[in-house]
């Protein structure tokens, strides 16, 4: 095994959607460099894949209109709720196709002409950027009757456990790292959705509301996520 793989073990699960190409994971040039269990075949992007994967790879055998429409549809559905990294792999796309896909939410175009080392480095960087690197085993936070396990990406409230979406995970991690600090909507959006995305305060307000419900906070009298009207939010974790 190459030294760089030994020194930088792969962290992350890749979901592969084959379009216009035979379904064969080993046809991907870097497949031999990562553990088998970190590669899986998908037929579509759904909530289960969003929760369980770290990056999605469209393996393209051709780029006719039907396939491009399928990629656009999948990206639109994903970007409506999340920022899970997405890349393409396979045939070379035309410049206008790349631009259109990037504008739709694609993060990277990988080419089989690139070395496995380069492609893995690009995907590793995407996973780091969007906060999907494996968390330390001790990362558990308790908020009253709510327990958040950052290692497993789960949240439990009153004994009922469910998965955190990637956006919920990044939002909670950002609050956890900035206890008591006033965070503006712009700061929250840039950290959670990315500095390259157009600012949208609606997303921030929407997901703050979702997080409050998931941790058992009451918006009219919040204990954990406190609004400073016109300024932003503070995470008041008094249990730690």
Letter string b/e over residues 192-229, b meaning 16 or more CB atoms within 10 A of that residue's CB: bbeeeeeeeeebbeebbeebbebbebeeeebbbbeeee
Domain boundaries along the sequence of the chain: 3-129, 140-235
In contact, 11 and 133? CB cutoff 8 Å: yes
pLDDT at res. 188: 92
pLDDT at 11 over 70: no
pLDDT digits (tens, 9 = 90+) for 40-99: 999 888 776 777 788 999 999 988 999 999 999 888 888 766 778 899 999 989 889 988
How far apart, in Å, are the Cα atoms of 20 and each of 59, 107, 179?
Answer: 8, 21, 48
Mean pLDDT value across the chain: 85
Residues in Cβ contact with 166 at an 8 Å cutoff, skipping those fewer than 6 apart: 50, 51, 82, 83, 84, 130, 131, 132, 153
Q: Give the integer Cα–Cα distance in Å for 66 and 82.
A: 24
pLDDT at res. 45: 82
Give the confidence band of 240 by pLDDT, cuts at 50, 70, 90.
very low
How far apart, in Å, are the Cα atoms of 37 and each of 10, 34, 41, 87, 120?
Answer: 11, 9, 11, 19, 16
Kindly report the CATH number that applies to the domain delimited by 140-235.
Answer: 1.10.10.10
SS3 at position 20: coil
pLDDT at res. 213: 94
For 125, the token pair is 């960087």
pLDDT digits (tens, 9 = 90+) for 113-144: 999 989 998 998 888 777 644 445 447 888 98
Hey, what CATH topology would domain 3-129 get? Rossmann fold (3.40.50)
Residues in Cβ contact with 126 at an 8 Å cutoff, skipping those fewer than 6 apart: 55, 85, 87, 107, 108
| Cross-strand partners of 14 | 39, 55
Q: Give the integer Cα–Cα distance in Å for 167 and 127.
A: 13
pLDDT at res. 67: 93
Q: Give the integer Cα–Cα distance in Å for 220 and 240.
A: 23
């Amino acid at each position: 095994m190459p030294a760089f793989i030994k020194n930088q073990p792969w962290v992350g699960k890749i979901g592969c959607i084959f379009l216009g190409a035979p379904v064969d994971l080993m046809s991907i040039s870097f497949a031999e460099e990562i553990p088998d269990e970190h590669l899986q075949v998908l037929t579509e992007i759904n909530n289960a894949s969003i929760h369980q994967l770290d990056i999605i790879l469209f393996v393209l055998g051709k780029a006719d209109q039907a396939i491009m429409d399928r990629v656009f549809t999948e990206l639109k559905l994903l970007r409506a709720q999340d920022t899970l990294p997405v890349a393409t792999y396979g045939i070379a796309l035309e410049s206008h196709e790349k631009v259109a896909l990037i504008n739709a939410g694609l993060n990277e175009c990988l080419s089989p002409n690139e070395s496995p080392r380069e492609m893995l480095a690009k995907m590793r960087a995407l996973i780091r950027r969007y906060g999907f690197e494996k968390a330390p085993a001790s990362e558990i936070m308790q908020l009253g009757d709510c327990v958040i396990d950052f290692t497993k990406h789960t949240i439990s409230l009153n004994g009922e456990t469910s998965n955190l979406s990637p956006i919920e995970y990044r939002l909670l991690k950002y609050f956890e790292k900035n206890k008591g600090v006033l965070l503006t909507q712009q700061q929250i959006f840039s950290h959670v959705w990315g500095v390259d995305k157009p600012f949208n305060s609606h997303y921030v307000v929407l997901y703050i509301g979702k997080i409050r419900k998931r941790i058992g906070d009451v918006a009219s009298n919040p204990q954990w996520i406190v609004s400073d009207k016109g300024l932003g939010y503070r995470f008041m974790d008094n249990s730690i």
